[in-house]
Amino acid sequence: MSPAIALRRAAAWLLRGGAGAGAPRAASSATLPGLGGAPLSPARGLQGREAAGFLGIWGGPAAGGVSGGVSWWFRCAASSVPRPGLLVEQLLVGGGRSFATGAAPVEVSFSPAAREADVSQPEKSVGASDKTMLGDRSLKLVSGVCYLPHPDKEETGGEDAHFIWDEQAIGIADGVGGWASYGIDAGQYARDIMSNAVTAIEEEPKDSIDLTRVLEKAHSSTTVPGSSTACIIALTDQGLQAINLGDSGFIVIRDGCTLCRSPVQQHDFNFSYQLESGNSNDLPNAAQVFKVPVASGDVIVAGTDGLFDNLYNNDITAVVVHATRAGLEPQVAAQKIAALARQRAQDKNRQSPFSTAAQDAGFRYYGGKLDDITVVVSYVTAFGNS
């Protein structure tokens, strides 16, 4: 039995009162694990991540360490001077390939008046008139990143990982913190699966990247114990391709409007899909695959749940609009978004996407959620433009 499954069963047993399967959990107020928000009164037993948190097995400090193959290291912070040990890997390599295996990709197209669309509900197929947005690979991704580890995990670098590859692809992963209770670096799996994703991308034809195959290869090649979410995005001859598993994700912004956002995949509240070494958890074929038409001037914002649990779509869009109008580089835009997400995470007096979800799930909770925050901002740019 994998540690992840064992944690779920142990947590469920504890939250039933530690007795028989039908024993009710004692009625009492509690605080969601690892969070600084207001108390909550569960309307039902907690499950998944929050249950594990009550066992003291979620969100503990990682053991540190980094994977090989790192081209260079990068850390940005919204304040203070960077300190040694607070480095975050960013892979910059080169290579590229298209959709072939797995579920058919979701195709999304937008009318000029479109303001917001759920990627999971496609409108129509893209016609020949949209060729400027899809074909000839005349576009590139100019990307920047900001990573802010959870304050309690700064010395070990946190548990998120990401890569930026050859102005064509980006990826993010969020390692599951519960592995730290077994003495396992909870971020190592995330770092390795991102590194292996880059290797898989390099084996693909540069003009079309099969992200389903990339994720399958990355998963099968990652053998260290652990688990994580995964989101990989690539710009190819077919347009913007993306694959996502878990509660990391991305949004696409055009002219100040959120065109689309990847849906969250979770088994229950705060218990997301996650890849794990071996076949004992969710598998790559459970990931959602997307095809989105984009044009020069569009902005892609990818992030882990530390971003999307604390900022609404319009919060992110507002920062992007300010950054693009001011001519700011994508890295600066990423820094500003991450800084705002951290500010909201520490605010106990403001409604957040996480508190909204908690309330919808039957918990009384208010405020943000402290977590690792990874933000990758990519400007869709025509070749020849900086």
pLDDT at 2: 56
* Beta strands in 237-294, from DSSP E residues, in sequence order: 239-245, 249-254, 257-261, 266-268, 271-272, 275-276, 288-292
Interatomic CA distance for residues 162 and 88, integer angstroms: 9
3 state SS of 241: strand
pTM, two decimal places:
0.71
Phi, psi of 373 (to 5 degrees): -125, 115
DSSP string, 179-219: GGGGT--TTHHHHHHHHHHHHHHHTS-TT---HHHHHHHHH
Phi, psi of 277 (to 5 degrees): -60, 135
Residues 6+ apart with CB under 8 A from 126: 107, 109, 133, 134, 239, 293
Phi, psi of 231 (to 5 degrees): -140, 120
What are the sequence ranges of the domains in the chain? 3-382
Interatomic CA distance for residues 341 and 306, integer angstroms: 7
Closest CA to 135 of 239, 252, 205: 239
For residue 221, what are the CA distances in angstroms to 172, 189, 241, 323?
17, 11, 22, 38
* pLDDT tens by residue, the chain, 386 residues: 555 545 544 433 332 233 332 322 222 233 333 444 443 333 333 333 332 222 222 222 222 222 222 222 222 322 222 222 222 222 322 222 222 223 344 544 333 333 333 333 333 333 333 333 444 569 999 999 999 999 999 999 999 999 999 999 999 999 999 999 999 999 999 999 999 999 999 999 988 899 999 999 999 999 999 999 999 999 998 899 999 999 999 999 999 999 999 999 999 999 999 999 888 789 999 999 999 999 999 999 999 999 999 999 999 999 999 999 999 999 999 999 999 999 999 999 999 999 999 999 999 999 999 999 999 999 999 987 76
pLDDT at 77: 28
Q: Quote the tokens at residue 114.
A: 């479109």
Homologous superfamily of domain range 3-382: PPM-type phosphatase domain (3.60.40.10)
Stated as kind and residue range, the H or E segment containing 303 is strand 299-303
